[in-house]
Chains A and B, each alone.
Chain A
Amino acid sequence: MRDVGVVAFAQRQMREFDGSPTCVELLVPIFAECYEQTGFTRQDIGFWCSGSSDYLAGRSFSFVSAVDAIGALPPVNESHVEMDAAWALYEAWLKIQTGEVDTALVYGFGKSSAGTLRRTLALQLDPYTMTPLWPDTVSIAALQARLGLDAGLWDEAALAAVADRSLRDAEHNEWAIRRGGSSVEDLLARPLYADPLRKHDIAPVSDGASAIVLAAGDRARDACERPAWITHFSHHIDPLHLGARDLTTSLSTRRSAPATRVDLAELHAPFSHQELVLRRELGLGEDIVINPSGGALTANPMFSAGLNRIGEAAGRVWDGTADRVLGHATSGPALQQNLVCAMGATP
């Protein structure tokens, strides 16, 4: 395997982006930041790959205009996944591993506020036996949370503790759209929303975009003082069936876990209890720093939030806070599909 490092990361997260669902206006400054961080120009990028969703935008081929932000004449080597951009990062990493290119810029974007997100996501369910009932994502997560509560795997205080820590950490993240910790007691005193979840257990609807630059070997060393070298990159999917799958576990996360331990993890958990599921599957004990960015509970821009976890984790390698980190992304109802990217200060 070639040594490939994360060498740049730029993001935008906001409650409501007032621009076009193609998010071109967000991508232009994000790309500029990536060039500035690396010293690369557009011509230095060997491969481009993005993640987004037509249904989020409400129209077919919504990703097509985003190519404008690249400035794609002369033409570029480019691809797109209808997934969170964390999986676009995986495709770009593959491309570098084939030896075809040495660098890649990966981006994700989405304007969740254009529609009613929790309703739109009902279209991710079984189209014959589920979608006609329009089960919303928040309810599905709440069913999952109760299964764990009833099984004694977590309690309401544990959920509140996750939310409180996230909101506290988000105070230091300029891109968080919800922030400010209080206490477990205070959070538990707030009313239930989707019983047993409270609003702070549920990621806010978020718009946004982000980008990561990957580079191999010396290209990475030239672009970044302390690249976050990818030491492990793995993803798996579970069946959708909510009843036949044990929702209190995540086999696909377990299968994607790195063999070696990390000091810090950014987990894509849009609901409090999902962080607890992920920690258990990844074997992350109390001594591991979790989501110093505040995580998805404080901003969850669809189709870039997973990529953001990898970017945030890489950032802790760049600034020397940690030597071994991981970023995790999830997709689909109730943690159906999961990806883990482990990075370190040495390849």
Chain B
Amino acid sequence: MARTLSQPVTVTFDYTRSTGPVIGRFLTGLRDGVVLGGRTADGRVLVPPPEFDPQTHAATTDFVEVGPGGVVDSWTWVPEPVAGQPFDRPFAWALVRFDGADCAMLLALDADHDAIATGMRVTVRWADERVGAITDIACVEPSAGDLGFDTLAALAAQPAAGEPVTGVVSPISLDYLYAASPEESAFFSGLAEGRIIGQRCPVCHKVYVPPRGACPVDGVPTTDEVELPDSGTITTFCIVNVPFLGQRISPPYVSAYVLLDGADIAIQHLILEVPADEVRMGMRVEAVWRPRDEWGTTIENIAHFRPTGEPDADYETYRMHL
């Protein structure tokens, strides 16, 4: 058995970026089928235009149409593309210096590996649908003939197609494999057997649940195993009434710190089977386990905690845990 438990996590969000005037102008150009550079104070044309002049630091205001033809300053081959790249088969990246520009920009190049060379002429291949984003340039491709194909590409340029671009949506999705520490893994594995396992710090002797890779007071791993009961005391709590993106429990619900009997630190869990406004600090609670066949290596094996009906714990017994 592996020393630690792990599970995939995807961190995903569609970011809404406001572009400001300079990037907005560049993206508006792409939507309308033209590549724009920005002229700097020293007379260079940079693509994409810098938001602020590298020398004077003033906002870029002078835009110049460049391309759609250009030359490859450098290139590489991607044998194993990653998700989100312009092609999901092997392809090339190129630093492309558009005609009229004084610097290159990074774009995908669609050509056979052995047909690519530094200095080759390329031209923009526009995306089928242009929305005002860098992906409006599908890639560059070898120029069919210097005038002919560039002219065709230029013809594809359309007059301004509406309002200037001011924002862009940028989906970002990353896959991770999340691992728990060995100490936490022991805890989660215990839960799969219906046991709640804590560990004592060998220095301060406090019982941590879950056990810790480092006692936060002493900086050493917790060691001696302590099996804890599934009953305890609510130290403090809040009632969550607010819905939010990614939420997995429907509000309103009570999120509480439960100090299991014999533990020196509280765990956070859900309180149910009692109206939210009757939950109290000091209330005695017990775990309600999900049916055994639904158990996994997770604290979610405990569906929630519910009141035991015992008298509330004396404030002094949990005062130090607030």
Contacts and interface: CB of A to CB of B under 8 A. Distances in A.
A and B touch in the complex (CB under 8 A): yes
Contacts of B46: 241, 243-244
Contacts of A188: none
Contact of A139 (B17, B54, B93): B93
Interface in A105-120: 113-116, 118-120
B254 to A, nearest CB: 24
A69 interface: yes
B103 A244 contact: yes
B93 A135 contact: yes
Contacts of A145: 76
A185 interface: no
Contact of B106 (A68, A123, A130, A150): A130
B11 A59 contact: yes
A144 B106 CA distance: 12
Nearest to A145: B76
A70 interface: yes
Contacts of B75: 143, 146
Given A193-B79, A196-B76, A146 B118 contact: yes
Interface in B63-83: 73-79, 82-83
Contacts of A197: 76
A206 B172 CA distance: 23
Contacts of B212: 24, 68
A58 B215 CA distance: 24
B61 interface: no
A116 B175 contact: yes
B78 A19 contact: no
A130 B77 contact: no
B304 interface: no
A133 B134 contact: yes
Interface in B90-123: 93-95, 97, 103-108, 113, 118
B182 interface: yes
Interface string A218-254: 0000000000000000000001011110000000000
Given A68-B212, A132-B133, A132-B170, A21 B178 contact: yes
Q: How large is the interface on A (under 10, 10 to 19, 20 to 34, 35 or more residues)?
A: 35 or more
A71 interface: yes
A260 interface: no
Contacts of A67: 216
A123 B95 contact: no
A321 interface: no
B135 interface: yes
Contacts of A123: 172
B167 to A, nearest CB: 10
B240 to A, nearest CB: 19
B17 A142 contact: no
B216 A19 contact: no
Nearest to B137: A133
Contacts of B19: 128
A42 interface: yes
B66 to A, nearest CB: 12
Contact of A133 (B79, B104, B135, B220): B135
A192 B219 CA distance: 46
Contacts of B6: 18
Contact of A58 (B9, B15, B84, B104): B9
B47 interface: yes
Given A19-B181, A71-B217, A131-B170, 9 more contacts: A22-B213, A57-B176, A131-B172, A132-B84, A133-B134, A134-B82, A143-B94, A143-B106, A194-B78
Interface of A: 18-22, 24-25, 27-28, 31, 42, 55, 57-59, 67-73, 113-116, 118-120, 122-123, 126-136, 139-140, 142-147, 150, 192-197, 239, 241-244
25 contacts: A19-B4, A20-B179, A20-B181, A21-B176, A21-B178, A58-B176, A58-B178, A59-B11, A68-B212, A115-B176, A116-B175, A119-B84, A128-B23, A130-B134, A131-B170, A132-B168, A133-B85, A135-B93, A139-B93, A143-B75, A150-B74, A197-B76, A242-B104, A243-B46, A244-B54
Interface of B: 2-4, 6, 9, 11, 15, 17, 19, 23, 26-27, 46-48, 50, 54, 73-79, 82-86, 93-95, 97, 103-108, 113, 118, 133-135, 168, 170, 172, 174-182, 184, 212-221
